[in-house]
Amino acid sequence: MKKAVILLSGGLDSTTCMGIAQNEGYELYPISFDYKQRHRKELEAAKKIAEYYNVKEHRIISLDNVGGSALTDKNIDVPEYKGDGEIPVTYVPARNILFLSYALGYAEVIGAEAIFIGVSSVDYSGYPDCRPEFIEAFQKVVDVGTAAGVKGKSIKIIAPLINLSKAETIKLGTKYGVPYHLTTSCYNGKEKACGVCDSCVLRLKGFAEAGIEDPIEYEK
């Protein structure tokens, strides 16, 4: 069976990628990252999601915290959603570069054909490493910087949600039976989602536009 590494954060988008990859016939090899984020809830969610899909292996990789983000520095408050087009303080410097680099090495070791990443450039916070330009640039790195690429068997970076709205993503995931009740999206990581941070607002908007009830609880 063909193999795929899935960047699994425990959130809505990465879990949708699990459903898509499974539907396309891949054996799933999710990896999650402990990058000293401000809460553990997303890692706990990732574990439950990996168990749900009965994966052969789920790796959790520990990385040092470089700081500079509200998601890694508790001295920086998580802001409410503004949608003003500015890159918010929840941006984690070079996060997807680091995640994809590790995933790439892992993919070469296990002989995976693809790496799935749940980035979107439609309903998103404006992070530079979630744009098509970034995925295209990283694919070039894969093609020229790995043994697989040099041998003409390059590992494909697949971003199936890149041009989808959050509503379209939710509809697709629902079609594939994605367990959204196990996911978490809130940047604050409390028992109930805050409902006002970027991630919560975009998630709620997506479920509302999809006409589907969000199965998680919110404070607001």
Q: Whose CA is closest to 162, among 172, 149, 153?
A: 172
165 labeled part of a ligand binding site = no
pLDDT digits (tens, 9 = 90+) for 101-125: 999 999 999 999 999 999 998 876 6
Whole domain around residue 190: which residue ranges?
Answer: 3-210
118 labeled part of a ligand binding site = no
- Percentage of residues in the chain with pLDDT exceeding 90? 75
15 labeled part of a ligand binding site = yes
28 confidence band (pLDDT: 50, 70, 90): very high
10 labeled part of a ligand binding site = yes
- Does 35 reside within a domain? yes
- Does 216 reside within a domain? no
The total number of structural domains that make up the chain: 1
The lowest-confidence range among 5-9, 12-16, 36-40, 167-171 is 36-40
186 labeled part of a ligand binding site = yes
The lowest-confidence range among 133-137, 194-198, 208-212 is 194-198
8 labeled part of a ligand binding site = yes
pLDDT digits (tens, 9 = 90+) for 53-106: 999 999 999 988 777 776 777 777 777 766 666 787 777 788 999 999 999 999
18 labeled part of a ligand binding site = yes
- Does 215 reside within a domain? no
174 labeled part of a ligand binding site = no
Helix, strand, coil content of the chain in percent (nearest 5)? 40, 10, 50
- Does 220 reside within a domain? no
Provide the CATH number for the domain around residue 68: 3.40.50.620
**Side chain identity at residue 148, one-letter code:** A
- Does 94 reside within a domain? yes
130 labeled part of a ligand binding site = no
1 labeled part of a ligand binding site = no
What is the model's pTM? Answer: 0.93
- Does 166 reside within a domain? yes
For residues 174 and 207, the answer to whether their CB atoms sit within 8 Å is no
- Does 158 reside within a domain? yes
13 labeled part of a ligand binding site = yes
